[in-house]
Amino acid sequence: MKSLVILISGRGSNMQALLESGYPRDCMTVISNNPNAAGLEIAKNYGVATIVLDHRSFPDRETFDVALAEKIDACKPKLVALAGFMRILSDRFVQHYQGRLMNIHPSLLPAFPGLGTHARALQEGVKIHGCTVHFVTPKLDHGPIVIQAAVPVLPDDTEQTLASRVLQLEHRIYPQAVRWFMDGCIQFIDNRVEVTNSGSDGMMLYSPGLPE
Q: Of 75, 36, 28, 66, whose CA–CA distance to 52 is shortest?
A: 36
Over the stretch 69-126, which tens digit does the pLDDT of each residue have? 999 999 999 999 999 999 999 999 999 999 999 999 999 999 999 999 999 999 999 9
**Structural domain that includes position 154:** 107-212
- Pair (111, 62) in one structural domain: no
pTM here is: 0.93
| pLDDT confidence of residue 212 | 43
CA distance 3 to 130: 29
102 within some domain: no
State the catalytic residues: 105
If one counts the domains in the chain, the total is 2
Positions in the chain whose pLDDT score sits under 70: 1, 198-202, 208-212
Residue 75 and residue 21 share a domain: yes
pLDDT of residue 201: 58
Residue 76 burial (C-beta neighbours within 10 Å; 0-12, 13-18, 19+): exposed
For residue 209, the model assigns a pLDDT of 47
pLDDT at 211: 39
